[in-house]
Amino acid sequence: MTGLPPCAIPPCAIIVMGVSGCGKSTLISHLGAYLSCPALEGDDFHAEASIAKMRLGQPLDDADRWPWLDRLGAAIRSSVHDHGIAVAACSALKRRYRERLEQAAGVPLLFVFLDGERDEIAARLAERKSHYMPTSLLDSQFAALERPAADERALTLHCYAPIEDLREDVLAWAQAGILSAAR
């Protein structure tokens, strides 16, 4: 796997979004390796109280999410400053969460929405053993999900495509000048 030269994509962050179990972490790992930048796992920026809440099967509310999005946004800003690019996984289920994340990051964000069917994603979640997110919260995530609108810088991909195809689709889209095409 050969990475892109740093100038191939303008300074920005690629945020892989979607419900739990859609493959965000796997895709950012591949993108980070290819782009020679850190892969920021949004789950790592949750407060302990939020993690405990989710372990108990309680969905987070906005009061739980705002400081999390601000912490992740600061890390994204730092990565773009240091590497010219960042990749991160973040559910970013609602438009206002995506807007808050971009405000906190202070850099252009490109969202990649990994879409999939509820039953298929539930089967993936049921196979995970070491994650705090229980399958019981999947319905609340789908209920909260606001798919990216046409005026957002977002690419929608099916989460069951081969990882190499997803990576190539994301990189081609980012290189195509999507930053100048929106907003």
pTM of the entire predicted model: 0.88
DSSP state letters, the chain: --PPPGGGS-SEEEEEE-STTSSHHHHHHHHHHHHTS-EEEGGGGS-HHHHHHHHTTPPP-HHHHHHHHHHHHHHHHHHHHHHSEEEEE----SHHHHHHHHHHH-S-EEEEEEE--HHHHHHHHHH--S-S--GGGHHHHHHH--PPPTTSSEEEEETTS-HHHHHHHHHHHHHTTHHHH--
pLDDT(181) > 60: no
Residue 182 lies in a domain: no
Mean pLDDT in the chain? 88
**Residue 47, domain CATH:** 3.40.50.300
Residue 61 lies in a domain: yes
Q: What is the mean pLDDT of residues 18-22?
A: 93
pLDDT(5) > 80: no
Domain that holds residue 117: 7-177
* Domain count within the chain: 1
Residue 2 lies in a domain: no
Tens digit of each residue's pLDDT (9 = 90 or more) over 38-97: 999 999 999 999 989 888 888 888 999 999 999 999 999 999 999 999 999 999 999 999
